[in-house]
Structure 1
Amino acid sequence: MSRQYQPPYSITSAVVNLIAEISEAVGRMTVLADQSRALRLRRINRIRTIHGSLAIEGNTLSEVQITAILAGKRVIGPPREVQEVKNALAAYDRFDSWRPEAEKDLLEVHRILMSGLVDEAGVYRRGGVGVMAGKDVIHMAPPAARVPILMGDLFNWLAATDAHPLIASSVFHYEFEFIHPFADGNGRMGRLWQNLILASWNPLFADIPVESLIFEHQAEYYQALRESTRQSDSAPFIAFMLRMLLDTVATSAPQVTPQVTPQVGELLTAMQGEMSREALQSSLGLRDRKSFRERYLKPALADGLIEMTILGKPNSRMQQYRLTDKGRQWLAQHGDG
């Protein structure tokens, strides 16, 4: 019977240790006292989450373009990719209202995420589908007729399990990808739902951009899925996801930010995506190139608040500069808007 369904997974010592490390890291994270700064940091991380999740699926729009779409600006790009971003922004805007154990909420989120992109938005697939890694088929999903039963079993398990949320969310994510219940959008849905399960355990996870780290480790992500399927045990995928979560929590924790000069602070505030030296200097209204380099640019680079886009060639005519994670963190806590 469906309520007796138990996904196959084992708990290794590595998984136990990762859970302990993540729990400790979460416990160390402090809530930002200034609510306006907290909202800015949440906005930055939400953009990174959406960029990472869609980039895994082949969307080429940058974080700068996603930020522009969020601000209601017109962005030049493939219409489908722009629509994907708008849909994701709309879905994550309602993130706090979704319930991880509610199957109807899953269907509603899919309807929003895939609106205007597929005919079967918000309904389970009616045909066969394979899980792709690039051009390779790494898994043939169960027949469409089985999907409602399998998803019902999975949601019943999620509602009843006493497994730690870090494990339960990873198991759900793997099982979801194994079932592959939708005609399209399964990857972004599985990752979103894991975040949702984790956020119900600790709201902190609503604002941690795990997606961006998974994007940087795509090959390992697909390998963990394949290995779990081969073993008929989601332990490899659980371990992979917990490593990603630990790394993301560690890098997302509010850091003791460096004391920066007013000039460097002005530079960070002026940064908009990737900018050339000339554009930065102009935006600050500065004429003296040497003064700009010595008082603004070099200190910001030395503190790791900005970085060059062309490493090793500081004098390249194509050289541009952009904020680092450390710079974005500083801006979230000290910027004006």
Structure 2
Amino acid sequence: MTGSQSYKPPYTLTSAILSLVAEISEAVGRITALSHDAGGLRLRRINRIHTIQGTLAIEGNDLSQEQITAILEGRRVVAPPREIQEVRNAIAVYDRFDQWRPEYEADLLEAHGLLMQGLIHEPGKYRSGGSGVLGGQRVVHMAPPPGRVPELMGRLFNWLASSREHALITGAVFHYEFEFIHPFADGNGRMGRLWQSLILARWHPLFADIPVESMILEHQADYYRVFQESTNQADCAPFVEFMLNMIMQTLNTYTPQVSPQVTPQVKRLLEVLRGEMSREDLQKALNLRDRKSFREVYLKPALAEGLIEMTMPARQSSRFQKYRLTHSGRRWLGQKPRENKTG
């Protein structure tokens, strides 16, 4: 690593920031007490999809959570090749989430190389040209010249390794400083959000499963506004406070799940579902005539628990729609995985 060991990013610990740190810590403890390991893999998968969709959507990728799920499961998706590649790369990066070490600059470069493989000329290498932060179509910040990037990143990682602040503060400060330096030709937003999550996950593993990116997406204009405000003030406190608010709001919507809630009706549905079946076929197999009752009591609960899935998630009302067991549904039934036909 290069640069001064005494470097400290400019930030003020406001009363609002300290209050949010206490509130988030309390919320994390409460959620941890309610959580159980059963169902953890399922919840992590759902939230990982939310995370990938959110962080890519901020950068202009239009693929839905259903399409990302299809790519994750190896099914065919009709979409722009670049957007599909972005999703595949993000899946590969988040699959290695537990392996990346946030204090290692080499890991950041390796993660960027995987994230941007096939998308830019030199993935995993610091930029050699000018760059800036875009808020929509507007430049909100011109980054330092490329010749200073290695030194600035070295100083930032030295600070990260020696920081004695709470991880909630350290993560948000790192995120801001990373975006200020904007070290790569592309992928900076995705990497900054990923690395903040890594820093937080080192403090508490719950943050490997918290899709803060989805909340940032809902407040995207404010995300760029507070970044510019922090830059204008030469103090990243506004950005830190914003990110802590996003974390708090995400935690407020986070509901731990212990296992799929399988009612007798859902159990019957899973037991009659063979391969891919239409609504009419399922009702006939269950000997049910009432379409509304079937939808509300059988179909919707099974979909909500992730036990079955649509074959055409992007066209939910299609008359050609069919349903099939998910991996979770097959596992619940104690079956071996079966091949699913794809379009």
| Shared fold, TM over 0.5 | yes
Which stretch of structure 1 is more off in the superposition, 283-292 or 50-59? Answer: 283-292
CA deviations 1:56-82 (Å, max 9, x no partner) are 111111111111111112211100111
Q: Are residues 293 and 123 of structure 1, via their aligned partners in 2, closer, same or farther at CA, if it must alter by over 3 Å?
A: same
Q: Is the 8 A contact 2:36 2:258 kept in 1?
A: no
The question of 1:57 aligning with 2:56 is answered: no
Match of 1:138 in 2: 140
Q: Are residues 61 and 280 of structure 1, via their aligned partners in 2, closer, same or farther at CA, if it must alter by over 3 Å?
A: farther
Partner letter of residue 58 of structure 1? Answer: G
Q: Are residues 244 and 261 of structure 1, via their aligned partners in 2, closer, same or farther at CA, if it must alter by over 3 Å?
A: same
Q: Specify which of 30, 33, 36 is matched with residue 32 of structure 1.
A: 36
State the shift of 1:14 in Å: 1.1
SS at match of 1:138: strand
Q: Is the 8 A contact 1:3 1:153 kept in 2?
A: yes
Q: Are residues 180 and 259 of structure 1, via their aligned partners in 2, closer, same or farther at CA, if it must alter by over 3 Å?
A: closer
Q: Is the 8 A contact 2:172 2:196 kept in 1?
A: yes
- How far apart, in 2, do the equivalents of 1:117 and 1:290 lie? 52
The question of 1:21 aligning with 2:19 is answered: no
Match of 1:297 in 2: 296
Percentage of pairs with the same residue = 59
Match of 1:178 in 2: 180
- How far apart, in 1, do the equivalents of 2:283 and 2:164 lie? 56
Provide TM-score, normalisation by structure 2.
0.80
Match of 1:41 in 2: 43
Q: Is the 8 A contact 1:57 1:187 kept in 2?
A: yes
Which stretch of structure 1 is more off in the superposition, 166-175 or 259-268? Answer: 259-268
- How far apart, in 1, do the equivalents of 2:174 and 2:270 lie? 40
Total equivalences in the alignment: 312
What 5-or-longer segments of structure 2 have no aligned partner? 306-316, 322-327, 338-343
Q: Are residues 187 and 335 of structure 1, via their aligned partners in 2, closer, same or farther at CA, if it must alter by over 3 Å?
A: farther
Which stretch of structure 1 is more off in the superposition, 282-291 or 9-18? Answer: 282-291
- How far apart, in 2, do the equivalents of 1:187 and 1:267 lie? 43
Match of 1:246 in 2: 248
SS at match of 1:9: coil
Partner letter of residue 290 of structure 2? Answer: S
State the shift of 1:289 in Å: 8.0
The question of 1:232 aligning with 2:245 is answered: no
Q: Are residues 239 and 266 of structure 1, via their aligned partners in 2, closer, same or farther at CA, if it must alter by over 3 Å?
A: farther
Q: Is the 8 A contact 2:265 2:297 kept in 1?
A: no
CA deviations 1:270-310 (Å, max 9, x no partner) are 9xxxxxxx9655555568886231354279889xx69xxxx
Q: Are residues 281 and 58 of structure 1, via their aligned partners in 2, closer, same or farther at CA, if it must alter by over 3 Å?
A: farther
- How far apart, in 2, do the equivalents of 1:69 and 1:135 lie? 29
Partner letter of residue 293 of structure 1? Answer: K
- How far apart, in 1, do the equivalents of 2:257 and 2:43 lie? 12
SS at match of 1:204: helix
CA deviations 1:255-276 (Å, max 9, x no partner) are 6999774336778999xxxxxx
Q: Is the 8 A contact 1:47 1:67 kept in 2?
A: yes
SS at match of 2:5: helix
- How far apart, in 1, do the equivalents of 2:259 and 2:41 lie? 18
CA deviations 1:137-184 (Å, max 9, x no partner) are 110000000100100000000000100000000000000000000000
- How far apart, in 2, do the equivalents of 1:142 and 1:269 lie? 61
- How far apart, in 2, do the equivalents of 1:70 and 1:257 lie? 22
Match of 2:129 in 1: 127
CA deviations 1:67-98 (Å, max 9, x no partner) are 11111122111001111111111111111111
SS at match of 1:139: strand
State the shift of 1:250 in Å: 2.2
Provide TM-score, normalisation by structure 1.
0.82
Q: Is the 8 A contact 1:263 1:295 kept in 2?
A: no
Q: Are residues 120 and 267 of structure 1, via their aligned partners in 2, closer, same or farther at CA, if it must alter by over 3 Å?
A: farther
* Alignment map for 1:278-289 (pairs within 5 Å): 280=279, 282=281, 285=284
State the shift of 1:318 in Å: 8.4
Q: Specify which of 202, 212, 215 is matched with residue 214 of structure 2.
A: 212
Match of 1:4 in 2: 6
